Structure 1
Amino acid sequence: MIVCPNCNHPNPDGAVQCEACYTPLPATTNCPSCGATVQADAAFCGQCGYNLHSAGVPHVHTAVAATVTPDIPVEVPPLDPPDPLLELLQPDALGISSSTNSHPSGSSLPATEVAVPPEPAPSVAAQPVVSGKSIPTPPPLEPAPASEAELPPPAAPAPAPTATASKTQLQQITARLIHVQTDLLIELPQNLSVIHIGKPNDRIPPDIDVSGFPNSEIVSRIHADIRVEGDAHYVEDVGSSNGTYINNLPLLPGNRHRLRPGDRISLGKGDLMTFLFQLA
């Protein structure tokens, strides 16, 4: 089985190109140890890990061409003979002492006089004529004003707090109940985490007294509670006689329902004492 290196399609042994994408397949051979099909240029068998190089499979090395520099004779140009005048100008080039002017063999030689041109007189630069009058001291230079590109941009003034922003910060979300039968609005106390709904009693006085509403006889003295947890409001029945209904569905004692704007709370059966929950 030959796996295509392009699309990983398995091809039968001996296939030259892939059956799926027509890509030329690498040449394969068999492992001398386990007989598995391996690529001709593989170093080890993928099935048993046999070293294919030790089995006599030649390993191709890339020939590196050696660079040979041909022996080319280098021609050295002949040196020019030194100028005899330069030898005479060199100090004691002929080995003649300046004090004796004698030849090493004892014969005296006449001293050779070399004409040295006279050195030119140093030129003196003309000094400017300075007047005896006092020169006024120039005023100190003032620093050049920075260009507009170098100046930092002026800081934008902080916006003054508007009345609308102050009013928004002071506003808080308040919850309220609307009595459907009388259209009366009841604000829920914001300082209480548990709001009791019912009628006056000696055990748990109600925070929302419904004794003055029509059909209040179906409401128990301790009927329901509204619990405030953060921004969420929950309503639960606390053992009323006629039950509590949320959107016309009964709320079992011990369970609670998270209130959302528009929820319908009915105290008792028959939808006679109904409130709508709203957020303002």
Structure 2
Amino acid sequence: MIICPSCAHSNPDGATNCEACFTPLPVVVMINCSNCGASVQSDASFCGHCGFDLKSTKATEVAVSVAPETAVPQPAAVAATSSPVVPDPSLVAPPLTSPDDLTEISTVPPPVIAASTAQSFGNSAKTQLQTIRASLFHVQTNITLELPAHLPVIHLGKPNNVIPPDIDVSGFPDSDVVSRVHADIRFEGDAFYFEDTGSSNGSYINNTALPAGNRHRLRAGDRIALGKGDKVSFIFQTT
């Protein structure tokens, strides 16, 4: 089926215009999953039927097509300067003339770091430890799910033997519209991104269908619907 990007109406495969609003539909190329043989979109990351990682298969095909003798450009050599480098006399240690000189050198006190510099180091360490906390507020049950802070990729879906979900929605009402491997939330830099991984019934951001393989930068207040009909919906929140 093809989801209309304008009104989110489900159109049959092969349709060129939306049956509901007559908007031109994007061209969708279907392929067969190399694991279970199910029909999925060519730009999907995962099979919505068995959860097989389609990206790994595509990466292998691309790697085989690359010629192994591809030349790697080498950096240009740096020309040497004609004039010699003269060291600063003040930075050169004087020669030792007696054992007393060695004693004087060993008793030189270590450098003192200014308090303002040490304080700036401490502030920098505290800044690195700070993290952005995020959660999903389930609209239908008023339940808040905290996103795991230690995971760069958070899997949403239902229990399966391929990619177990970090956020399990199987206990929510109408969870039958959600695929076992449905979507991912990624944390990169200082932002969260939502990506549909090839689910059967699609994902919607603020009531707009998100094509499989595409991702959306989440902002506080965004509404995420897993599957059709806005039956399993979440509000993205940050603190």
> What TM-score results when the alignment is normalised by the length of structure 1?
0.40
Q: Which has the higher contact order (CA 8 A, sep 6+)?
A: 2
> What TM-score results when the alignment is normalised by the length of structure 2?
0.46
Structure of higher CA gyration radius: 1
More helix by share: 2
